[in-house]
Amino acid sequence: MATPLVELRNISIAFGGIKAVDNVTVDLYPGEVVGLLGHNGAGKSTLIKCLSGAYRRDSGQILINGEEVQINNPRDAKALGIETIYQALALADNVDAAANLYLGREILTRWGTLDDVAMEAEARKVMGRLNPNFRRFKEPAKSLSGGQRQSVAIARAILFNARILIMDEPTAALGPHETQMVADLIHELKRQGLGIFLIDHDVHSVKKLCDRAAVMKNGQLVGIVKVDEVTEDDILAMIILGKRPDQLTPKDKEAVH
Amino acid sequence: MHKAIVAAAMLAAGLATSASAEGKTIAVSWKTFQEERWKTDEAAIKAVVEAAGDKYISTDAQGSAQKQAADIESLISQGVDVIMVVAFDSDAILPSIQAINDAGIKAIAYDVQFEDPNALYITFDNVGVGRLMAKTMLEKGRQDGNFAFIKGDKGDPNATFLFQGIMEVLQPNIDSGAIKNVCETFVDGWKPDNAQKAMEQCLTANDNKIDAVISENDGMASGVVAALTAQGLAGTVPVTGQDGDKAALNRVALGTQLVSVWKDSRVLGKMAAEAAVAMANGTPMEELPGVAKFSGGKKGVEMNSILIPPNPITRANLSDVIDGGWITKEEVCAGVPAGTVDVCG
Amino acid sequence: MVTTTERGGSGQDIRRDNPIKAFFRATELDTRILGMVGAMLVIWVIFDVWSGMLRPNEGLFGGAFLTPRNLWTLLVQTSSIAVMTTGMVLVIVMREIDLSVGSMLSMVAVFGAVLQVYHLGPALGVGHPAIWIIAMAACLLAGTLVGAFNGYLIAFLQIPSFIVTLGGLIAYKGVAFLLASGETVAPMDKTFKIVGGGVPEGWLGPFWSWTLGILACIGIVLALISGRKQRKKFGFPLRPIWAEVTLAAIGSAAVLGTTRVVTSYPWPFKLIEQYATANNVPIPQGVEDKSGAAICMAGDQIVRCTDGLIYYTGYAAPVLIALIVGGAMTFLASRTRFGRYIYAIGGNPEAAQLAGINTRLVTVKVFALMGFLVGLSAIIASARLDAATNALGQSNELYVIAAAVIGGTSLAGGVGTVYGALLGALTMQSIQSGMQLLNLPAAFQDIVVGTVLVIAVFVDQLYRRRIK
């Protein structure tokens, strides 16, 4: 089997004595979408933040393409091609799409000033591939719809050659049409060989978008399953009861159903 | 006024220094030490109190009425003999003064009035300052023409007191039509930069036809003179002021300001301290030299008071401030051409 | 080739709109700012008419307000606040506040004055050419350092800026007092004073004023052309040519109009007289006319007359400084990475941080910049007053913040422009100066300025809601 794109090995993080993440191991292959599920406080966001550089792990290893790496801040993560698309749709609301796309990595003219025209041109190219209907390059991000913001955020990641994408409930605030748009986007990204971690509450969308699902409860990994091989109820049981499908008793099945 | 001068002379001669050996305590509750002048006052007070063999203690309310009330409470509990109060808020202070009276301690309103009939009020004659400004203007500046009035902060009662005094003296000439009041404005916070803007607008509105400026203090006079300078008028338009600011005294020597009415706070501190020492030793305040009845406050409460006359400094008597050690000759005479002012040579 | 001619810059089809909307869309003019300019012009006309009713003068509508002299003075009076406002915009855009600018101005002004009057003067000899250079550099450096210190406390010790600068407001006032023991320090160095614009050396004169004005117009045209070229290169929608021409015309008209006004204000005749006598400039013979602005000889007397020796002021030094600062700050805010980061932080601090922006460093830099501008304002204010005291600049923070807010800066952060804030400062000073011209009571001025602030923000919100 090929080398995983990402391996998180035996990761633990504690906050003031409470283990938010307890010895969790997860991997991700190119062109694959792995869903991370669990209740609020199950530790999925904390786990993923040590990959994106927002938190530092207490113990464990991170391997990218089979090599151990150190990720101490968001900059390190970005340098390794890890991009995060946050739940809060982290765009600066008051600047336009092109500026958001290039935030932190602006194109400069030879005099060291911002080259807005060049950035807009690049933005148009990238968005043309992702979301050809997008036109509103010069408007502040706050006037964009949820789906448009999501596509700007994803375009931002692609623009910088992200290989590993972390998406935090990408379809949470969206209507059916826009959800479909994001699903198409994710398929396109998979086709281009990116690996995606997808954090979500919604079992239905995980089943639809992901290849595998990793379920966490109380900071521990319950298990990793291929979504094709299990039912939605099985995944629900993992979230609620913290048991893998093979551990379920008939009574448990009854309770979840 | 004469009375007060006599009083100053008598007190200075040491009449009140027959302190008893037991050593009284004189306390001062300052409203704030943010302003330099209070340090001059303090030095003068301390000198008199300690020379009399008494003890000087003080508190600083740091510009807060609440802190001042707490300060006074603590002074009362320390069992002092006289408390001089520079009130931060002349109304809010009254309960504290009542507490002083109740404790059998003597209270002195120092420089800032609060209206309590049992207290002694010692200050410069503020209405007198206004009168002196106007009088000097009439005698050494202009008796007629277009006058501009740059008044202090509208929230400060002193600004109004001053203006009353000024108007008392100028009114006959205004009534006769000799003096025309063409601009009159309060200046927020007595700020010189605001005074400058006000003066610029006054000059614009009147096409520079301004013959005299009554500025209520020296700080604002600096703004007025800057505005006049920009129009080439400084030195030809007489400007008043008060405080004896060093820069203002220099302007007086240069001829760009007519007068700075000088309130020598050392005299105020000295006289108040001497009164306090005498009161601590049991002299009734009515019998203090220079005491007169005063009821010119907001509520018209009659109080025993000592009003000290200030000194209008013009080119003619610049030597007063130099001889008094307030300012050096070099500071007064900076940039003054030789032969224009006597003291500068 | 792109089909561009009938499209506005933002790409929308403009054919459906009514002509006025189409005009604004095509030119991309900021209607909000135009509204403000309109409101200010109305205020000006009211003041001119009103003052004319009290006392007829040479103003456009018979009053004293719309005269070259008053407008010239107005610009000078605005400059110190205007310089600080350009920095305050960025501070507020970044969701911070700086309440300490007034006290900081006092402190830096007194510091600079003490340095030149008490130390450098005696040490080097009064009027030594190094004095003004050292004094100005010291003011700018002191301002920058104090600002950076504020920024450090805010960014690295995580103390809210409201608290840090409220502390500064109180503490720096105390320092200003201690530096000179509460005294007025005067007079300033002769060269230092030029920056205040109160002496003829601080006036640019018609030749250089016009030169500068024309250069500015050329700059506007070149900027429009290069912007258009750039967009064309990438095949973006272009503004219609008529819109480009209109923009160039409006910009040039504003520049040249202002230049025209400031170059029509003659030196006060006393100063012409002083200058002519001091420099042996021949004064022509002429007939006395007491309303004239020139001087001439009637016999051996120097008198005022209509035709004679006359000089015009042109741009005053503080106004020039404010304009240059305004231009530089606009450039910084809109054309540099630093400016982009400030806006991004104001829009979404978390997003900015996640994008790898060192938000703490940007915060320190913005406050340091604010401090630098306060230092510059301190130089202007003390040079103009020819003195420094601890009362100078106090409560300026209120006017600086008010100017920024009237100019459309949102206290919620993320939104605001430098030119809007400059207009805000000018509007506020117009109201104050106008009411002083009318000799209205000071209390009334306070009421009006306060009311205008609230109304301006209210109207702004209405406008924004409608735009949404």
> Per residue in C10-27, pLDDT tens?
444 445 667 888 888 788
| Averaged pLDDT for residues C25-36 | 84
Residue in chain A nearest C226 by alpha carbon? A117
Looking at beta carbons, which residues of chain A come within 8 Å of C344? 92, 94-95, 99, 103
B186 CA to chain C: closest CA distance, Å? 6
Identify which has the larger pLDDT, B216 or A159. Answer: B216
What local confidence, expressed as pLDDT, does residue B21 receive? 45
Kindly report the average pLDDT of chain B as a whole number.
Answer: 88
Whether chain C has a CB inside 8 Å of the CB on B159: the answer is no
C212 CA to chain B: closest CA distance, Å? 24
What local confidence, expressed as pLDDT, does residue A1 receive? 56
- Interface B:A, ≥3 CB–CB pairs < 8 Å: no
What local confidence, expressed as pLDDT, does residue A87 receive? 59
* Alpha helical stretches, state H, chain B: 2-12, 37-51, 65-77, 94-102, 126-140, 157-175, 192-205, 218-230, 246-254, 265-280, 318-323, 329-333
At A146-169, the pLDDT tens digits run 778 888 888 888 887 788 999 888
CATH of domain B2-125+264-309: 3.40.50.2300
What local confidence, expressed as pLDDT, does residue C100 receive? 97
Interface probe for A, chosen from C354, C410, C411 (most Cβ of A below 10 Å), is C354
Per cent of chain A over pLDDT 90 is 22
Strand, coil or helix: C313? coil
Inter-chain CB proximity B218 and C184 less than 8 Å = yes
Residue in chain C nearest A101 by alpha carbon? C355
Q: Retrieve residue C431's tokens.
A: 């109201």
Whether chain C has a CB inside 8 Å of the CB on B289: the answer is no
Interface chains of chain A (3 or more CB pairs under 8 Å): C
What local confidence, expressed as pLDDT, does residue C456 receive? 86
Q: Is the pLDDT of residue C56 over 50?
A: yes
Name the residue among B196, B205, B232 with its Cβ closest to that of C437: B205
Q: Is the pLDDT of residue C7 over 60?
A: no
Interface probe for A, chosen from C12, C228, C340 (most Cβ of A below 10 Å), is C340
Name the residue among B192, B200, B231 with its Cβ closest to that of C387: B192
d(CA C437, CA C13): 49
Range of the domain at C216: 206-264
Whether chain A has a CB inside 8 Å of the CB on C346: the answer is yes
At B297-345, the pLDDT tens digits run 778 889 999 998 899 999 999 998 998 778 899 889 988 988 888 888 7
Residue in chain C nearest B203 by alpha carbon? C437
Identify which has the larger pLDDT, B157 or C159. Answer: C159
User: How sure is the predictor about C464, in pLDDT bands with cuts at 50, 70 and 90?
Assistant: confident
Interface probe for B, chosen from C177, C192, C382, C384 (most Cβ of B below 10 Å), is C384
Looking at beta carbons, which residues of chain B come within 8 Å of C105? none
- Interface B:C, ≥3 CB–CB pairs < 8 Å: yes
User: How sure is the predictor about B18, in pLDDT bands with cuts at 50, 70 and 90?
Assistant: very low
Interface probe for C, chosen from B190, B204, B331 (most Cβ of C below 10 Å), is B204
State whether C131 and C191 are in the same domain. yes
Q: How many domains does one find in chain C?
A: 4
State whether C361 and C407 are in the same domain. yes
What local confidence, expressed as pLDDT, does residue A93 receive? 85
State whether C110 and C21 are in the same domain. no
C232 CA to chain A: closest CA distance, Å? 10
d(CA B280, CA C307): 76
C227 CA to chain A: closest CA distance, Å? 9
- Domain for residue C293, yes or no? yes
Which ipTM score applies to this complex?
A: 0.85
Residue in chain B nearest C118 by alpha carbon? B331
Mean pLDDT lowest for which of A195-209, B97-111, B266-280? A195-209
d(CA B253, CA B256): 8
Interface probe for C, chosen from A48, A117, A139, A145 (most Cβ of C below 10 Å), is A117
C182 CA to chain B: closest CA distance, Å? 5
State whether C333 and C430 are in the same domain. yes
C14 CA to chain A: closest CA distance, Å? 15
- Domain for residue C295, yes or no? yes
Residue in chain C nearest A54 by alpha carbon? C354
d(CA A35, CA A197): 6
d(CA C439, CA C432): 10
What is the DSSP secondary-structure string of chain A?
A: -PPPSEEEEEEEEEETTEEEEEEEEEEE-TT-EEEEE-STTSSHHHHHHHHHTSS--SEEEEEETTEEE---SHHHHHHTTEEEE-TT----TTSBHHHHHTTTS--B-TTSSB-HHHHHHHHHHHHHHH-TT---TTSBGGGS-HHHHHHHHHHHHHHTT-SEEEEESTTTT--HHHHHHHHHHHHHHHHTT-EEEEE-S-HHHHHHH-SEEEEEETTEEEEEEEGGGS-HHHHHHHHHH---GGG--HHHHHHH-
Is residue A57 within 8 A of residue A11, CB to CB? The reply is yes
Q: How many CB pairs under 8 A join B and C?
A: 131
CATH of domain B142-257+314-333: 3.40.50.2300
Beta bridge partners of B27: B57, B83
Name the residue among B34, B185, B190 with its Cβ closest to that of C177: B34
What local confidence, expressed as pLDDT, does residue B128 receive? 86
CATH 3.40.50.2300 residue ranges in chain B?
Answer: 2-125+264-309, 142-257+314-333
Inter-chain CB proximity A112 and C344 less than 8 Å = no
| Averaged pLDDT for residues B248-272 | 93
B135 CA to chain C: closest CA distance, Å? 25
What is the DSSP secondary-structure string of C344-413?
A: HHHH-HHHHHHTT--HHHHHHHHHHHHHHHHHHHHHHHHHHHTSB-TTTTTTHHHHHHHHHHHTT--TTS
Calculate the alpha carbon distances from C245 to B271, C236, C352 in Å. Answer: 77, 19, 38
Inter-chain CB proximity A103 and C336 less than 8 Å = no
State whether C213 and C189 are in the same domain. no
Inter-chain CB proximity B189 and C391 less than 8 Å = yes
State whether C153 and C28 are in the same domain. no
Residue in chain B nearest C380 by alpha carbon? B193
Kindly report the average pLDDT of chain A as a whole number.
Answer: 85
Give helix B218-230 / helix C359-385 axis angle, nearest 10°: 80
For chain A, which domains are there?
6-92+162-256 (3.40.50.300)
| Averaged pLDDT for residues B55-79 | 90
Name the residue among C55, C183, C391 with its Cβ closest to that of B246: C183
Residue in chain A nearest C359 by alpha carbon? A104
Inter-chain CB proximity A139 and C10 less than 8 Å = yes
At C122-167, the pLDDT tens digits run 899 888 999 999 999 999 999 999 999 999 999 999 999 999 999 9
- Domain for residue C41, yes or no? yes
Looking at beta carbons, which residues of chain B come within 8 Å of C432? 197
| Averaged pLDDT for residues C244-270 | 94
| Highest-scoring range by mean pLDDT, A129-138, B171-180, B319-328 | B171-180
What local confidence, expressed as pLDDT, does residue B146 receive? 97
State whether C275 and C241 are in the same domain. no
Q: Is the pLDDT of residue B72 over 80?
A: yes
State whether C245 and C272 are in the same domain. no
Mean pLDDT lowest for which of A163-172, B66-75, B86-95, C45-54? A163-172
State whether C442 and C338 are in the same domain. yes
Residue C159 gets which letter from DSSP? Answer: -
d(CA C43, CA C406): 15
Q: Retrieve residue B310's tokens.
A: 């200030």
CA angle B258, B259, B264 (to 5 degrees): 165
Inter-chain CB proximity C55 and B335 less than 8 Å = no
Is residue B301 within 8 A of residue B295, CB to CB? The reply is yes
Kindly report the average pLDDT of chain C as a whole number.
Answer: 90
Calculate the alpha carbon distances from B56 to B37, B70, B264 in Å. Answer: 18, 19, 21
Looking at beta carbons, which residues of chain C come within 8 Å of B187? 442
Whether chain C has a CB inside 8 Å of the CB on B330: the answer is no
At C271-326, the pLDDT tens digits run 999 899 999 999 998 888 888 889 999 888 889 898 889 999 999 999 999 999 99
State whether C382 and C349 are in the same domain. yes
- Domain for residue C399, yes or no? yes
- Domain for residue C163, yes or no? yes
Name the residue among C387, C392, C439 with its Cβ closest to that of B185: C439
- Domain for residue C74, yes or no? no
Looking at beta carbons, which residues of chain B come within 8 Å of C77? 197, 200
State whether C230 and C192 are in the same domain. no
What local confidence, expressed as pLDDT, does residue C467 receive? 63
Q: Is the pLDDT of residue A26 over 80?
A: yes
Q: Is the pLDDT of residue B15 over 50?
A: no
Identify which has the larger pLDDT, A248 or C119. Answer: C119
Q: Is the pLDDT of residue A249 over 80?
A: no
C237 CA to chain B: closest CA distance, Å? 49
Inter-chain CB proximity B246 and C394 less than 8 Å = no
At C335-367, the pLDDT tens digits run 999 999 999 999 999 888 878 899 999 999 999
For C23, the enclosing helix (H) or strand (E) is helix C19-27
d(CA A244, CA B131): 98
Q: Is the pLDDT of residue B237 over 90?
A: yes
User: How sure is the predictor about B141, in pLDDT bands with cuts at 50, 70 and 90?
Assistant: very high
State whether C212 and C254 are in the same domain. yes
- Domain for residue C328, yes or no? yes
